[in-house]
Chain A
Amino acid sequence: MRRAPTRLTRYRIPYDSLTVNESDAVGVRVELLGGAVELDLWSIWEVWGDTDGKTRGGMRNVLNAVRSEAWELVDVHASAGSTGPWPHVVAVWRATSADAIERALSTGDLDEFDESGIVRGRSTLMRGVRGAYPDQARAIRYERVVASDAAALDVEGPDFVLADVLCPWQGIAMWGASDFEALSVREHSGMGWVQRDALVECVGWWVSPMPDREIL
């Protein structure tokens, strides 16, 4: 079952707790909102299953079973193997609060995730830099990108752009559509960042929110 879109999670840091000024904040864009700073943190997991272990539906089930105080599982996307990796899913987690992240890292929250039947995972701590998570899309082009600098990620085009919190010249772009046919039309019109000169690397593939039925 796909989870309902969640509320926008924000946390605020008082001015006097910041040790960074705007000139320092090269990679972590801080937005001054009436005396507070908003950070929007995500953790994106790419998980490779095994044709003899956990396939996409199996990975969805173990991810849905994870309970975390710090992270809310927003979606598990099935990667469309014909366009990229397989069996493979992308888990989209969103932080509930900064305090909770620190506490969760200290206590091992999420570390006990059931890895059986899974070959490999890659996680990136991210923050939203432009647009909004396409929670209504039924087909999405994901692009994992490395740019020449952080500013090169903050440009129009994708529905949602996330930057790596720890290496902010890298990120993920999401381009959504109502279904794969509409995504194909959007592709045909020139969607995507693969041809951008400002990028050092760009690898994309299609994903879909997981159907309710069991899938391989």
Chain B
Amino acid sequence: MSEQRLFMVEDVWLRAGQASAYLANMGSKPRHEPPHAWDLVGVFNQKRIAGEWPSAVNLWQMSWSSLAGRMRHQFGNDAPREEVFERWWTKSSGERSAGWDRVLLPGEGCPELFDLQAKPLGRCLIQIRTAVRPGASIAHLAWLESVISDGNVQGPWSPFLWMRAVHSSETFLYLAGHSWSGVELATRAFASPPAAFKARATASLLHSWDRSRYLFSDGQ
């Protein structure tokens, strides 16, 4: 269990006009030191025409043990101060005001990051965060999995990650593409969630910052 793959999505509420400064600072150095380091999957800039702003999204991969170890280190009385993390926090405090993080479990068939790195999906991202009725997030994730595994997602956009939140009745779906071409048709396979889910979704268009190494290679 302790090494089960987990993800964390950080919904970061930025201060006005601070997106570029925050994104440049984010991921410039490892925030967390071994042995509890997390893998930074991507840093994303919120596009203006769909989503909530000003904000940025950070996506991390970890395990239960590295999550718990990191939390123990951060909040324990016996842990030494982490100067790198504290310097980063102090600088970024002028760039962000608050946020909301969620721990997520990946769905069946979610690609391994190693595989993604071998064949990057592109730096244009669509995030669909869906709140469903309490008790229905496992079933909603299974529905997302079925749409994907049935091959219903076609065209220039590829499913990147599909996950459910551990602490809320929500799912997250990410689609990635090498350009914004066809964005208005990208989610058509997911256009009809069964009514019983009472799905309420927020769609965001995100652009990968330079340190999203699993989503694109140099020159892409």
Contacts and interface: CB of A to CB of B under 8 A. Distances in A.
Contact of A120 (B52, B183, B199): B52
Given A102-B180, A106-B179, A118-B16, A167 B128 contact: yes
Interface string A122-139: 111101000000000000
Number of chain B interface residues as a range: 35 or more
Interface string A181-216: 000000000000000000011000000000000000
A146 B199 CA distance: 8
Nearest to A124: B50
Contact of B195 (A117, A148, A164, A168): A148
B187 A105 contact: no
B188 A114 contact: no
A167 B184 contact: no
Interface stretch (A1-9, A17-25, A79-87, A154-162): A17-25
Given A105-B124, A169-B192, 14 more contacts: A26-B188, A26-B192, A27-B187, A27-B192, A98-B184, A122-B53, A125-B49, A150-B192, A167-B130, A167-B202, A167-B203, A169-B191, A170-B200, A201-B200
28 contacts: A20-B185, A26-B192, A27-B187, A27-B188, A28-B184, A28-B188, A39-B184, A45-B48, A93-B49, A101-B184, A102-B179, A102-B183, A105-B124, A111-B19, A115-B16, A116-B17, A122-B52, A123-B48, A127-B184, A146-B200, A148-B198, A149-B195, A166-B186, A167-B202, A167-B203, A169-B193, A170-B201, A200-B200
